Amino acid sequence: MIKYYGHSAFELHVDGYKILIDPWISNPLSQEKAAQVKDVDLIIVTHGHGDHVGDVATIARNNPRARIVAIYELAEHLGRLIGDPARAVGGNIGGPMKIEGVSLKIALTPAVHSSPYGAPTGVVIAGRELTFYHAGDTSVMMDMKLIGEIYRPQIAMLPIGGHFTMDPVEAAKAVELLSPRVVVPMHYATFPVLYGRPEELEALVKQRGLPVKVRAMRPGEVADPRDML
Ligand SMILES: [Zn+2]
């Protein structure tokens, strides 16, 4: 299952784990309340900007089992923020992290961006059947070729809004480098400054002749990722 909350916030259910990524549930596009999010196993935060850390404190409070996964310095910060450092799992960019009791492969990837705590990242989540890539906030970068080659994500969540991240022009090149089967656009339309739109990305990947589906999700929408392929 994949659910989009708007902005860069997603919920994934992979091999029985409920995962939130960049859980700014109370973003302007969302009708949902962070307090209603329950039974979370992992909260992954790609970098330390407020629109990605989002409602981590509220969700961590309401989900005492949930662990927070992030780059080391951000995990330390978030552990202090929730008043429970033991629940923050800090790793770094490279091979998949060892997370106690979790069979998924979760690897932090580079991102070309900034962050107040450690380096900004993206994340790859590989389950038995499906592999997801959430790029975090980033520009296009040649590393996407490596991410595509090593992890072969079928579903890529890519920022397209511009100004702070790629817009559809850069994102179309990112799609070429990553070769996913499906792109779910994110980080657009939340504010007027995030001007990129999924239809522009769709036209640009067609121009490049890429065999990929651009699958825009409405905030609050839930889908079965297998149906997207
Ligand atoms: Zn950011």
Residues, CB within 5 angstroms of ligand 1 (ion): 49, 137
pTM for this model (two decimals): 0.98
Gap from CA of 35 to ligand 1 centroid (Å): 23
How far is the C-alpha of 160 from the C-alpha of 18, rounded, in Å?
Answer: 25
Give the residue numbers spanning the domain of 86: 2-214
> Is 225 contained in some domain?
no
> Is 131 contained in some domain?
yes
- The CATH number covering residue 101 comes to 3.60.15.10
> Is 119 contained in some domain?
yes
> Is 13 contained in some domain?
yes
The structure tokens listed for 54 are 């989002």
**Mean pLDDT (whole number) for 118-144:** 98
Mean of all residue pLDDT scores within the chain: 98
Considering its fold, how many domains does the chain have in total? Answer: 1
Gap from CA of 227 to ligand 1 centroid (Å): 30
pLDDT at 194 (0 to 100): 98
> Is 10 contained in some domain?
yes
Residue pLDDT, tens place only, 155-206: 999 999 999 999 999 999 999 999 999 999 999 999 999 999 999 999 999 9
> Is 228 contained in some domain?
no
> Is 97 contained in some domain?
yes
pLDDT at 71 (0 to 100): 98
Residue pLDDT, tens place only, 109-122: 999 999 999 999 99
> Is 223 contained in some domain?
no
CA atoms within 13 A on the CB side of 172: 17
Q: Cα-flanking dihedrals φ and ψ of residue 143, to 5°?
A: -55, -25
Identify whether the C-beta of residue 180 lies closer than 8 Å to the C-beta of residue 156.
Answer: yes
